Structure 1
Amino acid sequence: MNYFDESLTSIHQKLVAKEMSATELAKQTIANMKETDKDVQAFITINEDEAISAAEKIDAAGVDEQNILSGIPVGIKDNLVTKGVKTTAASKMLGNFKPIYTATAVQKLTDAGMVMVGKTNMDEFAMGGSTENSAFKTTKNPWDYTKVPGGSSGGSAAAVASGQVLGALGSDTGGSIRQPASFNGIVGMKPTYGRVSRWGLIAFGSSFDQIGPFTKTVADNAAMLTAIAGQDQHDLTSSDKAVPNFAEKLDAGVAGMTIGLPTEYLGEGVDDSVKQLILAAAKTYEQLGAKVVEVSLPHTRYGVAAYYILSSSEASSNLQRFDGIRYGFRADNTKNLEDIYVQTRSQGFGDEVKRRIMLGTYSLSAGFYDAYFKKAAQVRTLMINDYTEVFKNVDLILAPTAPTTAYALGAEVNDPMTMYMNDAMTIPVNMAGLPGLSMPVGFADGMPVGMQLIGRPFDEVTVYQAANAFEKATDFHKQNPQLGGQN
């Protein structure tokens, strides 16, 4: 069982028709994962026994004919806690951590009948853009094993792109769902901040983090987001706005819509091949009846600098709890309390995590708070105002997801500034808390390119509507990788 040419609908129909049981599906999925993942390395933990047990319970109760998610295997990023199942955040610090509760988003998928088959690899504590910062393994891009899958949710994206699962959850702090979706040629959605509960997500930047789904198709993505969205009493930042069926207007088309094309997203630093594919997508939308206009988001150029000050500041605060006292890794042969703290954090955290803790602590320190953190927060407000103005005249914004296709493993992991700039297209969306979806827009040199659709706050319905219209007009989502080969 690989899922290259399947969808939630096609698998659901097979389950309902009893062409296969949920248990058989889980077993076949796990068998394929074990074989495929020898090369892809998308999973940290394969949840075999628990998954088969969950599938058996679904079969005993009967697959829900009205629920497209019933009995479907799913992958979960390893920074979402899962009761009794190891949750590491890809860090030595949590190498053997088994949580005592399950994250709300994961629980909602389980309640909807999805079967968690494994925990996916990621950059340590979600800090990175290539999944090379994991303490345990390096995930490969299914289209070319010499290329990165993106990050930090690279394991979830690679698991879907390589046909191991139909859907997976990731988290997005500055582009960590959308950028790997672009690099892997699949659909990835970062919902509006507050649309999905963050309870049970191991925090990186609390005012930026959002959980969202990876899938092969827009319709599948909308179905998964519908299942996980909604207010949660455990998360006071979760919104009380009503959750629509995000698939309700999938087939409504884009006729009459106005789509903005920001000049700042098509300038210096964006590969010409990427730029041409985005311009071609704009023409496709015009042919489908939308109006495409040029817009400006002038403070975009400050986004990367402001984001890394703000998110690192929040990270330095959030990661204080990992001190070797309460849970997680503790260094051996320490002499006193201070030594426990110093040695535990020195040995337990990787270089990128230490880099961001140091940057954040510096930005929050006396004498520098006003110069750095406060200024960055003011820039964030200016960026929010840019979007507010643009959305007075457009329904959506169309932009590249990333400035390039997936780059070679090892090419940028030792060059933090270059790696940070890869997020220049995605960071502004997190700064403003907006919904953003990446989907395939074509190929360059045999590698997928993603386009980003950015919507008004809590208007994921329109984002999905426009994404589905493009998907129906093209066949990029039907292209599958020759695993690790020349594509």
Structure 2
Amino acid sequence: MTDLIKHSAAALAAKLAAKEVSAVEVTQAHLDRIAAVDGDAEHGVHAFLHVNTEQALAVAAEVDGRRARGGSDAADLHELAGVPIAVKDLIVTIGQPTTAGSKILQGWHSPYDATVVKKLRAARMPILGKTNLDEFAMGSSTEHSAYGPTRNPWDLDRIPGGSGGGSAAAVAAFEAPLALGTDTGGSIRQPGAVTGTVGVKPTYGGVSRYGAIAMASSLDQIGPVSRTVLDSALLHELIGGHDPYDSTSLTDPSTGLVAAARIGNVKGLRIGVVQELGGEGYQAGVLARFNESLDLLRDAGAQIVEVSCPNFVYALGAYYLIMPSEASSNLAKFDGVRFGLRTLPADGAMTIERVMASTRAAGFGDEVKRRIILGTYALSAGYYDAYYGSAQKVRTLIQRDFDAAFAHADVLISPTAPTTAFKLGEKLDNPLAMYLNDVATIPANMAGVPGLSLPGGLADEDGLPIGIQLLAPAREDARLYRVGAVLEELLEERWGGPILNMAPELVATQIMEAK
């Protein structure tokens, strides 16, 4: 394994700018790593659904050519030019299939690029390929993909989180230095926690959603996946900012994030511990590492305060009414008529209704069907006010809890997920147990505030990574990077280096033995 793939995105960018290495070399090294360890759903990490070899190398060669010519050609290059990236297969791209992890979109090619993809192309970042996910982002384990599960690089028998387990696993397995994910209830942060990577959900509207296949439009948010806080800040600044194609896009510029990650101190900052996000149901090893993180921040000069957000206990229930309701509406477009899969009814009744029913029955998986049924029921006549309407009222209460908490604290902190990665198949027969994995991450989506998860160390019970979650007021994403970068440095001192470097070097061996 070449050392190139173990460098951070910032370090790779510096080497590329100094011409110590070429973009083609960096891209090829990651493509070689994908070929070595990604495999398929049975033998390998299976982070990728599509690998974009030719296009990625062509972009890398263009970057090298511009640097070789010098002058304005080189001066105009973005800092991340030539640094490869993976993209969650929920984000549309020209020239590559976009499946959303579903049979209903198998082989579908988008006629346009998502806004974030346009920004990656403008920055000349080679796109390595599209990563696996729970079908239409519905899941917490990436086991609900129509193309088989992704596996956790720390232990191939465990889940990598979800729905963005493919992006997190690709970064954790050193197949990509950066990735894009989407976060509706924790789908960037929770995979980050269980794979030992950094995942960020920006303020709602801070990054354009144009071109992200919608599950729940009022909750979805695109964000960065990386191995360091600084890398996430670099990517976040690139993809953020106003987009006229997204009606929910904020007008705020995405600046100051990298500078915040480089401040290097938390003295005087008030960091609030959310009482409701801990205790019963949380693994002992997760809480132990969380409390150690609090001690490190306290010793670094931060003021640790306790805050209460009493309505957070209702967030999970409210979310699983609002999200399926919006999903049932958004997924109505997949009807077997306009695009995607079309399955004709066996009885020969060729009406639109029968074609639609046949297509959706064959094209959607069990979890998607479950959520569509739940959402349609919640929106039906006679139940709308009792379920969907009541859930929206709880959402307002959660937003008020955040407002009250941020009156006493600059940033909030909690474990990202209640447990480390569980075994593949362990919770497939118990959807409610699966949903509980998002109990700490969902409140941020309900209120639209930004959240960051970073590796907090290894749990005593199983030696697997745990995540520390930071939350900030809306539009104050920079605070996350300031605190996150300091905590990351303190934790690396505590553990003797980056947490991810402690992953057992067994992945490639396990894959080869399985083959």
Structure 1 length-normalised TM: 0.97
Q: Is the 8 A contact 1:2 1:29 kept in 2?
A: no
* Aligned residue in 2 for 1:470: 487
Q: SS of 1:264's equivalent?
A: coil
Equivalent residue in structure 2 for 1:115, among 111, 126, 149: 126
Give CA-to-partner distance per residue, 1:9-33, whole Å, 9 cap, x none. Answer: 3212322333332122222221211
- Does the CA contact (< 8 Å) of 1:2 and 1:164 recur in 2? no
Match of residue 408 from structure 2: 393
2:156 aligns to what SS in structure 1?
A: coil
Q: Provide the aligned C-alpha RMSD in A.
A: 1.6
Q: Deviations over 1:174-195 (max 9, x none)?
A: 0000000000001000000000
Q: How far apart are the structure 1 equivalents of 2:211 and 2:158?
A: 31
C-alpha contact (below 8 Å) 2:472/2:479 kept by paired residues: yes
Instruction: Map 1:344-423; keep pairs closer than 5 Å.
Output: 344-423=359-438
For the pair 1:479 / 2:500, whether they are aligned, the reply is yes
CA displacement at 1:5 relative to structure 2: 3.2
Relative distance call for 1:329 and 1:339 in structure 2 (3 A) is: same
> For structure 1, which segment, 465-474 or 374-383, has the greater mean C-alpha deviation from structure 2 after superposition?
465-474
Give the deviation of 1:478 after TM superposition: 4.4
Instruction: Answer whether contact 1:3 1:165 (CA < 8 A) is retained.
Output: no
Contact 1:142 1:162 in 2 (8 A): yes
Map of 2:327 onto structure 1: 315
Letter of the 1:376 partner, please give it. Answer: A
The 1:275–1:313 alpha-carbon spacing in structure 2 relative to 1, beyond 3 Å, is same
The residue identity in structure 1 corresponding to 2:122 is D
In the alignment, the residues of structure 1 paired with residue 10 and residue 387 of structure 2 have an alpha-carbon distance, to the nearest angstrom, of 50
Q: Matched residue of 1:40: which SS?
A: coil
1:249-286: CA deviations, max 9, x gaps?
22331000000001111121111211121111111111
Q: Which amino acid aligns with 2:38?
A: D
Offset of 1:106 from its aligned partner?
Answer: 1.4
For residues 286-309 of structure 1, the C-alpha deviation after alignment (integer angstroms, 9 at most, x for no partner) is 100000011101011111110010
Instruction: Give the letter aligned to residue 479 of structure 1.
Output: L
- Correspondence 1:67 to 2:88: no
Unaligned runs of 5+ in 1: none
How far is 1:393 from its partner? 1.2
Is residue 45 of structure 1 aligned with residue 50 of structure 2?
yes
From the superposition, tell whether residues 410 and 3 of structure 1 become closer, same or farther in structure 2 (CA, over 3 Å).
farther
Letter in 1 for 2:83: I
Q: Residues 484 and 372 from structure 1, CA distance in 2 versus in 1: closer, same or farther, beyond 3 angstroms?
A: farther
Distance in 1, Cα, partners of 2:4 & 2:269: 33
On the 8 A contact 1:162/1:483 being kept in 2, the answer is no
Amino acid across the alignment from 2:447: A
Structure 1 stretch displaced more, 188-197 or 59-68: 59-68
> Structure 1: how far apart are the matches of 2:4 and 2:188?
20
Normalised TM-score (structure 2)? 0.92
- Equivalent-residue separation in structure 1 for 2:407 and 2:379 (angstroms): 35
In structure 1, what is the equivalent of residue 173 of structure 2? 162
Q: Identify which of 113, 117, 120 aligns with 1:102.
A: 113
Partner of 1:148: 159
Give ranges in structure 2 of 5+ residues lacking alignment. Answer: 69-73, 510-515
How many aligned positions are there? 487
Task: Give the Å deviation of 1:3.
Answer: 5.3
Distance 1:127 1:359 in 2: 13
Tell me, yes or no, if structure 1 residue 184 matches structure 2 residue 195. yes
CA–CA distance in structure 1, aligned partners of residues 262 and 30 of structure 2: 31
Indicate if the aligned counterparts of 1:391 and 1:456 stay in contact, CA closer than 8 A. Answer: yes
CA distance in 1: counterparts of 2:45 and 2:169, whole angstroms: 7
Aligned pair partner of 1:455 in 467, 472, 492: 472
Whole-Å separation in 2 of the counterparts to 1:58 and 1:379: 50
Residues of 1 paired with 2:10 and 2:202: CA distance? Answer: 23
Moved more, 471-480 or 134-143: 471-480
Cα 1:214/1:72, change in 2 over 3 Å: same
Q: 3-state SS of the aligned residue for 2:328? A: helix
> Which residue of the partner structure matches residue 82 of structure 1?
93
Q: C-alpha displacement at 1:2, in angstroms?
A: 5.8
SS in 2 for 1:76: strand
Match in the other structure for 1:11: 12
Residue by residue over 1:413-471, the C-alpha shift from the partner in whole angstroms, topping out at 9 and shown as x without a partner, is 22100001111000001000010000011111210000000001111111100001111
The residue identity in structure 2 corresponding to 1:52 is: L
TM-aligned CA distance change 1:262 to 1:25, over 3 Å:
same
**Contact 2:182/2:188 (CA < 8 Å) preserved in 1?**
yes
Q: Distance in 2 between matches of 1:222 and 1:2?
A: 23
Shift of 1:483: 4.4
* Corresponding letter in the other structure for 1:157: A
Q: Deviations over 1:24-57 (max 9, x none)?
A: 2222221211111021100000001111122222
Task: For 2:418 and 2:4, locate their aligned partners in 1 and report how far apart those are by CA, in whole Å.
Answer: 29
Q: Which residue of 2 aligns with 1:287?
A: 299
